[in-house]
Amino acid sequence: MKSKLLKIVSIIIVFSFIGCSNKKEQNKVITKLDTPLGLENLTQYIPKDNPLTKEKISLGRDLFFDKRLSVDGTVSCSFCHSPLLGFSDGRYFASGVFGLKSKRNTTTLLNRIFAQENFWDGRAKSIEEVISEHIKDPNVFANNLDNIIKLLKEDKKYIKKFNNAFNSDITGDGLVKAIATFIRTLVTGNSPYDKFLAGDKNALSESAQSGLKLFMSDRLKCSVCHSGPNFSDEKYHNNGTKINKENPDLGRYLITKNDEGMGKFRTPTLRDIGRTSPYMHNGSIKGLHALVDFYNKGGEKNIYKSPLIKPLNLTDSEKNDLFNFLRSLTGTNVYFFGYR
Ligand code: HEC
Ligand code: HEC
């Protein structure tokens, strides 16, 4: 009798122990995201009040593809930031609810964990801020969090997933945090360029190797602005992108109200650039051949253009080399493999 009781008690102890260790696995904070080759030395920015956990990533991924975010149920994040197009949309200008056009080209969402300021003009200091603005923006979702939460509460899957991720009911704050967390996991590296740097001399063709030298050279100056492993100094420049004369987009000036910011935009990453045409804040350049021609002629004239942008006098074979180098920056998106 005594031994039977002992057995039952020990079974209870063992089971509650397993229960405890499962709880520990749940919501375990990932302090540093595993990144593909080439991104090891970049600082990762994760807000203190929104640490990475698997549960949030998983919830954020579901919400990213959910059209219930938009006021008319037609648009999800992925409608403009498509995984197949380097998380952009192939359009000159983004198109949101009711087909309304946004005034800028859609940015990629790759490697945002390595940056602090968001949008072409840097007006959002966090990805959380971007999402809150997008939800209200009449040209994006034209919605509000209360509407969305009401709909999601009818879905058992979300009730369970919010509970797993936040130990709470469905909330607007949780929704924004989960999506932002998912975005931070979208990274691209392990490109032919990274493999070449890591010692695989066959990873780049001879032409792409010549293009790399040109890119880094004092003659072309590309790497002054497109610097470091993510090919961005995260600063604002006017690179001579064509301006619409009737309705010019003043870029950084709109935020700083300082003449110095006229027509400046944040230097974009060049990773996966082969997937995200058309280029520039206004989608004015289609394809990498046109892009190389644009820089070769020293951009379009305007009085605020950076002195770093000048005609380059590239030969046809140099243009081809630069093109091949830019194409070698397309990597492996961890999105497709990890953190499912
Ligand atoms: C209607 C198209 C559209 C939809 C839908 C959309 N976006 Fe965007 N997104 C844009 C455009 C356009 C920009 C650039 C706007 C600007 O710079 O002024 C942008 C910029 C961003 C940025 C800034 C990236 C950077 O490099 O600065 C992030 C992050 C982002 N979006 C995330 C999201 C998320 C998450 C969702 C879903 C909640 C979403 N977007 C839905 C069009 C869209
Ligand atoms: C003065 C800084 C600067 C220099 C030098 C520079 N760029 Fe840029 N680059 C930018 C900025 C800023 C943008 C975005 C401009 C805009 O949207 O109006 C940009 C955009 C691009 C884009 C399009 C990215 C996208 O997602 O739309 C590519 C590709 C590019 N640059 C390649 C190059 C190459 C190649 C060189 C050298 C020939 C070069 N850049 C020199 C600042 C610079």
Q: Which ligand is nearest to the CA of 277?
A: 2
* 77-90 residue pLDDT tens: 999 999 989 999 99
Ligand 2 centroid distance, CA of 181 (Å): 28
Confirm if 332 and 36 have CB atoms less than 8 A apart: yes
Does residue 292 contact residue 314 with C-beta atoms inside 8 Å? yes
The whole-angstrom separation of Cα 25 and Cα 23 is 5
Q: How many CA atoms lie less than 13 Å away from 184 in the CB half-sphere?
A: 31
Q: Could you say which residues of the chain have pLDDT below 70?
A: 1-24, 334-340
Distance (Å, whole) CA 319 – CA 322:
5
Instruction: Kindly calculate the radius of gyration of the chain based on its CA atoms and give it in whole angstroms.
Output: 24
For the CA of 224, the closest atom of ligand 2 is 5
Q: Are 28 and 53 in contact (CB under 8 A)?
A: yes
**What pLDDT, on the 0 to 100 scale, is given for residue 125?**
97
Of 132, 135, 127, 128, give the one whose Cα is nearest residue 107.
127
Q: Is the CB of 308 under 6 A from ligand 2?
A: yes
CA dihedral of 138, 140, 143, 149, whole degrees rounded to 10: -170
- The Å distance, Cα 134 to ligand 1 centre, comes to 7
- Whether ligand 2 lies within 6 angstroms of the CB of 291 is answered as yes
Pocket of ligand 2 contains residue 231 by CB under 6 Å: no
The three-state secondary structure class of 251 is: strand
Q: Residue 267 and residue 170: Cα distance in Å, rounded?
A: 37
Give the number of the ligand closest to the Cα of residue 184: 1
Residue 52: strand pairing partners: 30
100 alpha carbon – ligand 1 mean position (Å): 14
Whether 221 lines ligand 2, by a CB cut-off of 6 Å, is yes
- Given this model, what pLDDT does residue 14 score? 45
Domains and CATH numbers, the chain: 54-188 (1.10.760.10), 191-331 (1.10.760.10)
Dihedral of the alpha carbons of 10, 13, 19, 20, in degrees to the nearest 10 = -140
Per-residue confidence (pLDDT) for residue 165, from 0 to 100: 96
